[in-house]
Structure 1
Amino acid sequence: MSDEPLIEDEDATVLEARLETGGMRLDKALAGVFPDLSRARLQALLAEGAVSRDGMGVSSGSAKAQPGLYSVVLPPVVSATPSPEAIPLTVLFEDGDLIVIDKPAGMAAHPAPGNETGTLVNALLAHCGASLSGIGGVARPGIVHRLDKDTSGVMVAAKTDRAHAGLSALFAAHDIERTYIALTRGAPSPAKGRVETLIGRSSSDRKKMAVLRNGGRNAITDYVVESVFGRPVKAGGAPMAARIACTLHTGRTHQIRVHLASMGAPILGDPVYGSGSPATAVRAAIAQSGLARQALHAAILGFVHPVSGEPLRFETPPPPDMDRLERLLEAL
């Protein structure tokens, strides 16, 4: 699930190069090992938190370079002026500053290679029309957090510069209530707890995120097992499946998907982190339900309105595909 306003993105490109010697300015040294990136571009990427050395973030181009393996995350190149598209939206709240919607699974948050159209941004441009201000110099909705394309649930977007700045500050301070519902293979033990790890890009697959021993960024998830389904395959083992509520205290890329997988309870239907095969009865339930994505839904989003100061809280139930799967799992 990518949920924080960071440059990390599942469609991003990751460049890597090893710097054998240090001593000179970092931006100058990196320009030497990344010849396709200008020094000015590297300075901007450093400031955006898109550069790391041996898994640890670096941000100052004027600092002295240290030897190590450097990674640069390049965001997808997309048009600065996406087109409005009349796509139906489930609007939970809207005023002059922001809009809250229940995003369907299968809709990307913003245009990216392979998803140039049909995104939430395209839909909001048509829905909001002239009510949008020139965020960043372009009339477009301000996406301040993200849900993965195949994760459903509650999202907020800014319509004005002041709302964009205020929402960005709330997310940066983690002053947001965010709870997700996941259906998983097996269940974590204990049934309630907190997972606190470092999360960063996997050393074996730079397109994936992973729990790291060193480097990465701190990630905190509270979880509660709300229901379990099916008898354990082995005596004393975990149930076949479970419904888990996860509350985020940080918003790292794919955080819930990575954390649940790290506890041996990957999300059902997850094509990236769903290692291992569910029990035969669970596989049959998935097929019968029609679920064709990870069973993850952003159920609750609560925050203080960045302009009016009004407390807002929105809650939506999982959509039909997850609901059908849960009902089938209850019958196991």
Structure 2
Amino acid sequence: MSVQTRIVSEDEADLRLDRWFRRHFPNVTQGALQKLCRTGQVRVDGKRVTGASRLVPAQTVRIPPLPDASAVAKEGPPPLDPMLAREIERMVIYRDDKVIVLNKPSGLATQGGPGIIKHVDMMLEGLQGDSEHRPRLVHRIDRDTSGILLLARTPGVAAKLAAAFRGRDVHKTYWAVVVGRPTPASGVIDQPLAKLGAGNGALVIAAERDDEDAAHARTEYETLDGAGRKISWLGLSPLTGRTHQLRVHCESLGTPILGDPRYGGKLAHPEGFTDRLHLHARALDIPHPDGGRLMVAAPLPPHMRDTFKDLGFVAGETPKPERRHGGGAERAVAKTGRSARR
């Protein structure tokens, strides 16, 4: 490999040089890069730099010969099974040049882990197309939860959206069928949560407010319909993003989510209902990387659709994806939840 230069793209603005290198040359270690910078072999616009230097669009990065880079590039990952590529393509409900939105089925894990042999993350190559970047997960939802999953098409977009999630500029609406009827019918669940154990086997519990190990957690909820006092349909909007937050918060109300395999005990599994988790990531309202906001909603999974039909709950038509160039995001999400009763 000879000396080459690469131009920093708009998508890579303000990225540290060492992180930029990891994206383009993942086989170059941090120590090796530091040596290349120290000896002046790596330069930006002809000037000496360090791994912590921030990049600006249109700058040129000088890359010295990296003998192992071509070998790693030629090996690459094994091609994705065509069946998996078709499967993830069927999940797409919105796509533009910055983001992709999936409607993940219940039972499919978002990422790998012990005992998980199939997950969304391993299938993302099927959505790469002609791009040099493989789409990236911006957030996760539980394996048993269905609904909206957001992907970024480039690393820069992923960073912007991750910051939006951390800054609470993302509005999420979930639909859940719960056992019982909450009192009051709407409100905010302000219940700290603590995690017991680690990994996939960890259990989340409602904690005391003075528990130093507990995490602050808040969820808005609204009862959208009910079948007497036995079963209710709730709209849920998490104001924080804790593991299993919605499932434990519903349990703390005394109304566990129908079919929950981990929380609620026998109460969550009444006779006559499909024994699957009835929690669906219904709507997502995000700041779009190109400006304005994007609102996307996902139709119910088959098992929840059947339960809605049996109970007489009317979900209505799923709104089409919509780009907006103004405010009103919170009102839009709330409207998506309420419209189902019309």
- TM bucket (normalised to shorter chain) is 0.5 to 0.7
2:14 match: none
- Structure 1 position 186 matched with structure 2 position 186: no
Residues 260 and 143 of structure 1: CA distance in aligned 2, closer, same or farther (over 3 Å): same
Q: Work out which of the residue numbers 280, 283, 293 in structure 1 matches 2:271.
A: 283
Give the letter for the 2:305 counterpart: D
> Does 2:241 match 1:257?
no
How many Å separate the matches in 2 of 1:164 and 1:141? 9
Structure 1 residues 217 and 127, CA gap change in structure 2 (3 angstroms): same
Distance in 2 (alpha carbons) for counterparts of 1:81 and 1:260:
42
Question: Which residue does 1:31 correspond to in 2?
Answer: none
**Which residue, out of 221, 224, 227, partners 2:219?**
221
> Which residue of structure 2 lines up, in the alignment, with residue 62 of structure 1?
none
Q: CA deviation at 1:81?
A: 5.8
Deviations 1:259-283 (CA, angstroms, capped at 9, x unpaired)? 000110000100100223368xx52
Partner residue, 2:131: 131
Tell me the TM-score normalised to structure 1 length. 0.64
Partner residue, 1:162: 156
Amino acid at match of 1:211: A
Contact 2:92 2:100 in 1 (8 A): yes
User: Which of 204, 211, 214 is the equivalent residue of 2:206?
Assistant: 211
C-alpha displacement of 1:109: 0.9
Cα distance, 1:111 vs. partner?
A: 2.1
TM superposition score normalised by structure 2? 0.62
Q: Match for residue 137 of structure 2?
A: 143
Query: Which amino acid counterpart does residue 115 of structure 1 have in structure 2?
Result: I
Equivalent pair of 1:182/1:243 in contact (CA under 8 Å):
yes
Any unmatched runs of 5+ in structure 1?
Answer: 1-79, 134-139, 231-238
Q: Report deviation, 1:90.
A: 2.4
Change (3 A) 1:278 1:156: closer
Give the deviation of 1:83 after TM superposition.
Answer: 5.9
2:238 equivalent to 1:271: no
Q: Distance in 1 between matches of 2:195 and 2:145?
A: 20
Q: Any unmatched runs of 5+ in structure 2?
A: 1-75, 314-342
Q: Relative to structure 1, is the Cα distance of residues 132 and 174 closer, same or farther in structure 2, using a 3 angstrom cutoff? A: farther
CA distance in 1, matches of 2:79, 2:115: 15
Q: 1:141, CA displacement in angstroms?
A: 2.8
Are 1:209 and 1:254, in contact at CA under 8 Å, matched by a contact in 2? yes
Which structure has more helix as a fraction of its residues? 2
Q: 1:178 aligns to what SS in structure 2?
A: strand
- Aligned partners of 2:234 and 2:216: how far apart in 1? 22
- C-alpha distance 83-171 of structure 1, shift in aligned 2 (>3 A): farther
Aligned to 1:312: 294
Cα deviation, residue 304, structure 1: 0.9
Amino acid at match of 2:308: E
Please say if 1:295 is aligned against 2:296: no
Q: Provide the rounded CA distance (Å) in 2 between the counterparts of 1:217 and 1:151.
A: 22
SS at match of 1:258: helix
CA 81–172 in structure 1, closer or farther in 2 if over 3 Å, else same: farther
Aligned twin of 1:112: 113
Counterparts of 2:268 and 2:259, CA distance in 1: 10
CA distance in 1, matches of 2:165, 2:172: 10
1:175 to 169, 187, 195: 169
Contact in 2 for aligned 1:82/1:122 (Cα 8 Å): no
Distance 1:154 1:295 in 2: 14
Report what 2:45 is aligned to: none
Cross-structure match for 1:58: none
Between the aligned partners of 1:223 and 1:147, the Cα distance in structure 2 is 18
